[in-house]
Structure formats: C-alpha cells, structure tokens
C-alpha cells in the first residue's frame, strides 16, 4: 500500500477528524501570507511520491519516510499522519533521509541493513507500528509554514509537534545555515538541517526540510 493508492474518501475523513486537534495542540502560529501571494496546496505526500513512490538504492532521498507513512496508514487508517496528504493544512515537516533511518535501524537492532525495505522492516519489527507512528508525528509541526529563513531566525525556539512533544531549534551559524534540532533522546546525536534540502515544496502551505538523523521523541 502507498499514499497514492489510499482512497480519497479515507483521507478526507481522516484529515477532517484530526486537523482541528493538530492545530489546537501546537503553540506555533501559522505563518502570515499576503493576499497577492496565496500559497499553494500541493501536499508533502505527493512530493514524497514524485520519484516513483518505491524503494531504490539512493540513500539520500526520502523513500523510507514515505513508505513508513503508508505502512502506518495501512495498519491505522485513522492515524493523524494522514494530514501529510492534505495540502490545505499548514505544516512543516523535518524529513530524515533514508540513510538516517538506516542508522536508526542499526541502533535498534545492532545490524546493518543493506536495503531500504529491509531497513523499514527492521525498525517496525524492533519498535512496533505504534512507535513508528509516534516518531513520524514527532517530525511534523502542524499549523505553521516554517521556511528556512524563519528557522534561522528562531534560535532556541521550542517547536510543538503533532506527536505532542517538543524539540528545540539550535542555530549554530546563520551564515552557514548550520542548525541543530535538539530532541528528547539525550543518548544519541541530534540531527542537523541538510543545507541542500531546505524549503522542499516551497510556495505551498506544507513545507519540509531534510535532516541528517531521525528525531527521537524519547529514549530509543
């Protein structure tokens, strides 16, 4: 199953049920937009699926996060992760690349997975689908379209996620666009924004930034 095969009826029902709760849960204000530059409504789900919506051998794109969302929706059709498929809902997602998930699988299982599909399977078996859902939601800040320029001006800001937890923005260098995201797991390295993967889906109310590791809502 993948997001493009999920029925539109299911997504509309799910997103309608969860959107209000997600927007109410975050302390981040929606970014202001001018009437003359109304943002688009292309969803992040469609962006993630644009390269063929399947696993490949490129460890620096986002196939695993795409398929992880699909796996969660297959197991839990009413999961709030469906909001990623509703491009009318403002949000910012921080996307770990496939290599980041490979490193998470190594940490959880102490085995190096050689394929993207094997990596996702290993994580799901080690942590469970509910934990995968919580990790995905921890990467989503609902209610706000935070572009890279805003992020660089947000040193020490605490962002409230769709999972209910927070992580902190640590701007180490504005000039170099060096930004660390400090999560809730104190035993592992925190991810950095990937400077070549900022403002994905720019111009739309759903925007994303690539990050170098998986954010952890708790000690995994």
Q: Which residue has the higher pLDDT, 207 or 33?
A: 207
Residue 76's domain comprises: 3-148+193-211
In a domain, 186, yes or no: no
> Would 184 be classed as within a structural domain?
no
Tell me, yes or no, whether 20 lies in a domain.
yes
Strand stretches in the chain, DSSP E: 91-96, 140-142, 158-160, 166-173, 178-182, 206-211
Domain count, the chain: 1
Torsion (CA) 137, 177, 98, 186 in degrees, nearest 10? -60
Task: Classify residue 36: in a domain, yes or no.
Answer: yes
Question: Band of the pLDDT at 187, cuts 50, 70, 90?
Answer: confident
Altogether, the residues listed in the chain come to a count of: 220
Q: Which DSSP symbol is given to 200?
A: B
Q: At which residue do the structure tokens 């990596």 appear?
A: 119
**pLDDT tens-digit map of 124-149:** 999 999 999 999 999 999 999 999 99
53 confidence band (pLDDT: 50, 70, 90): low
Give the span between the Cα atoms of 138 and 185, in whole angstroms.
Answer: 12
Token digits for 97? 């690349």
Mean predicted lDDT score pLDDT of the chain: 86
Reported as a single tens digit per residue, the pLDDT across 84-116 is 999 999 999 999 999 999 999 999 999 999 999
C-alpha of 67 from chain center: 12
What is the average per-residue pLDDT within 183-197? 94
Widest CA span of the chain, in angstroms? 53
**Whole-angstrom distance, CA of residue 97 vs CA of residue 61:** 5
Domain assignment of residue 178, yes or no = no
Q: Is the pLDDT of residue 10 over 70?
A: no
Round to whole Å and give the CA distance between 15 and 78: 8
Q: Is 95 part of a structural domain of the chain?
A: yes
Calpha distance 191→210 (Å, rounded): 10
CA distance 200 to 25: 24
Within a domain: 168: no
| Distance, first Cα to last Cα, the chain | 27
């Amino acid at each position: 199953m993948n997001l493009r095969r999920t029925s539109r009826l299911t997504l509309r029902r799910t997103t309608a049920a969860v959107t209000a709760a997600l927007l109410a849960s975050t302390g981040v204000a929606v970014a202001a937009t001018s009437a003359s530059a109304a943002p688009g409504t292309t969803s992040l789900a469609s962006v993630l699926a644009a390269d063929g919506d399947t696993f490949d051998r490129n460890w620096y794109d986002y196939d695993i996060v795409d398929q992880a969302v699909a796996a969660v929706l297959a197991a839990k059709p009413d999961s709030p992760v469906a909001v990623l498929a509703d491009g009318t809902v403002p949000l910012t997602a921080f996307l770990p690349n496939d290599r980041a998930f490979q490193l998470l699988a190594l940490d959880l299982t102490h085995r190096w997975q050689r394929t993207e599909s094997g990596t996702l399977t290993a994580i799901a078996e080690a942590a469970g689908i509910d934990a995968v859902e919580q990790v995905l939601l921890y990467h989503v800040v609902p209610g706000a379209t935070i572009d890279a320029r805003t992020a660089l001006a947000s040193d020490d800001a605490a962002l409230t996620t769709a999972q209910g937890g927070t992580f902190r923005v640590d701007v180490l260098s504005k000039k170099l666009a060096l930004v660390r995201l400090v999560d809730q797991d104190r035993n592992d390295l925190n991810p950095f924004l990937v400077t070549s993967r900022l403002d994905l889906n720019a111009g739309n109310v759903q925007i994303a930034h690539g990050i170098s590791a998986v954010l952890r809502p708790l000690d995994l």
